[in-house]
A and B are shown apart, each in its own frame.
Chain A
Amino acid sequence: MENNQPIISVDHVSMRFNLSKEKHESLKEYFLALAKGRLQFDEFYALRDVSLKVMPGDFYGLIGLNGSGKSTLLKVISGVYKPSSGTCRVGGTIAPLIELGAGFDMDLTARENIYLNGTVLGFTPKYIDSKFEEIVEFSELRDFLDVPLKNYSSGMVARIAFAIATITKPDILIADEILSVGDFLFQQKCEARMQRLMSGGTTVLLVSHSIEQIERMCNKVAWIEKGRVKMDGPAAEVCAAYKQTTK
């Protein structure tokens, strides 16, 4: 019964941004512009009337060129953006891996950041305590635990971020090109862990520019172009069509 309910349902969502030509960040500028009657904005639709349904247990891929709106869609789903119109319903806990180092303070050490980021994701300190070893183990950064994060390479930050976000069994894991940063060994490790989460019932939403990776891992794919869903369906079909046009 539960399987018939989509876990994420995006319903006619549009996301509009005001691309102000001149950004009025000071009061004086604002009133000057207002007085001159030039307070107009260019409207830009990052998403137009997007509808998607993700079922529990799906490994859902999003493909599209740069600037097509994939990340915006992920941010709408994870609740960072509120859609300008339409609704987005999510039925479960989300572990977001959108961009690296969200919730990290670069001045703090890795150890401190594990706790800070863990609580950003809504874990209790006790829970983090119990999983601390596992996080350190997975990220393979034991020797650098008390080094401030600003001295880390981006790959090292990615390891920590991935390790923290996946210690729990979230209902939904959102991963935005996070895997592209680590070396290939770590990428394999992440894929393995994502597969394991999947078999435990987690729904994964993955954005990647590696079409091979999408084909290999996802069962469903949506192709987004200029803020609209151009095609969605089984991974093989959509990927084939996508590859046709980009050739």
Chain B
Amino acid sequence: MATLKCYFNGFWRYRYLLYNLISRDFKLKYRRSVLGVAWSVLNPLLMMLVMWAVFGGLFPDLRGGDIVNYPIFLLCGQLLFNFFRESTTLAMSSVLYNAPLLRKVYIPKYIFPLEKTCFGFVNCCFSFIALVLVMLFTLSPVHLTLPLAIYPLLTLFVFSLGVGLVLATMTVFFRDVMHMWEVFTTALMYFSAIFYDPEMMSGWVQQFIKFNPIYWYITGFRRAVINGEGLSLSMILVCGGCAVAALAFGLFVFKKNQDKFVLYL
């Protein structure tokens, strides 16, 4: 218990650092761009238009017939998946890229994966403006269940943090992980039911997709935002369970190896 308190005090001491690192990332991301932060909104919006054109216009059969409000459907999937991909990819290389700092001053090392996950989350929150715009534009109904969407979102944050911690640890020892993860997330994207209705897939694909935690986060989010239904018990359990398991595993792996990091950076 005492050590736990000690950890928390350590974290509390560095909360401003966390804030400053996030604001640094933000400044550097949009420095010298004319539209600046507006890109956080524009980017997902434009991407959604591209996918809409492809799967709404060019290959409408691929997505399955009866999806209500396809643009919102697309955007929800895309935003959540992009959050996962962006935060884990950034967290993966975060320890490596901050090697100059880690070699010189003592800072709790987990702050870097945590910072990147937070940065991804902030970005994701900005892109929700795009979602609101599209909802207004398509005159979608706003359901009372909308606040429930926060649950899949927060659990996805915890899940991403856990995955990011594992990836960051692995990358310190083997740089290959970065390349593998890129391929893996691309494959994962197609199995996350972002632009199609999983119901129309053949039986085994449907079963297979259910092993993908991202699918559950996206589906839970959509149910609350688009369908106006509450979360089912299995959704609550899978989302929460995966998040807790990923975080516990991530912390374990990270903590076990972090003292060796500095020798490999």
**Interface, chain A (partner B; CB < 8 A):** 17-18, 24-28, 30, 75, 78-82, 94, 96, 98-99, 102-103, 105, 107-108, 112, 115-116, 119-125
Contacts and interface: CB of A to CB of B under 8 A. Distances in A.
Contact of A26 (B21, B27, B106, B175): B175
Contact of B21 (A96, A98, A116, A122): A116
Interface string B1-39: 000000000000110110111001001100100000000
A122 B103 contact: no
Given A25-B175, A81-B262, A108 B104 contact: no
B108 to A, nearest CB: 10
Contact of B20 (A79, A94, A116): A116
B182 to A, nearest CB: 15
Given A27-B174, A28-B176, A116-B20, A103 B27 contact: no
B95 to A, nearest CB: 14
A150 to B, nearest CB: 12
B68 interface: no
Given A25-B175, A122-B13, 8 more contacts: A17-B263, A18-B263, A26-B176, A80-B104, A80-B106, A105-B28, A107-B28, A112-B27
Contacts of A122: 13-14, 17
A80 B20 contact: no
A115 B22 CA distance: 13
Contacts of B14: 119, 122
Contacts of B263: 17-18
Contact of A78 (B21, B101, B106): B106
Q: Which of A28, A78, A80 has the most B CB atoms < 10 Å from its CB?
A: A80
B233 interface: no
Interface of B: 13-14, 16-17, 19-21, 24, 27-28, 31, 100-107, 174-177, 259, 262-263
B174 A80 contact: no
B166 to A, nearest CB: 15
Given A108-B24, A108-B28, A119 B104 contact: no
B16 A79 contact: no
Contact of B16 (A24, A26, A98, A124): A124
Contacts of B16: 119, 123-125
B105 A80 contact: yes
Nearest to A74: B104
Given A17-B263, A27-B174, A81-B262, A105 B24 contact: yes
Given A80-B104, A98-B104, A119 B174 contact: no
A85 B14 CA distance: 28
A75 B103 CA distance: 8
B259 A82 contact: yes
A112 B24 contact: yes
B17 A120 contact: yes
28 contacts: A17-B263, A18-B263, A26-B176, A27-B174, A30-B174, A75-B104, A78-B106, A80-B103, A80-B262, A82-B259, A96-B104, A96-B105, A96-B106, A98-B104, A99-B104, A102-B100, A102-B101, A103-B105, A108-B24, A108-B27, A112-B24, A112-B27, A119-B16, A119-B19, A120-B17, A120-B101, A122-B14, A124-B16
A80 B102 contact: yes
Given A102-B101, A103-B105, A122-B14, A116 B174 contact: no
A119 B107 CA distance: 10
Contacts of B174: 24-27, 30
Nearest to B180: A27
Q: Which of A94, A96, A105 has the most B CB atoms < 10 Å from its CB?
A: A105
Contacts of B17: 119-120, 122
Counting from the closest, the 9 A-B pairs by CB-CB distance are: A102-B104, A79-B106, A119-B17, A119-B16, A27-B176, A82-B259, A119-B20, A27-B174, A26-B176
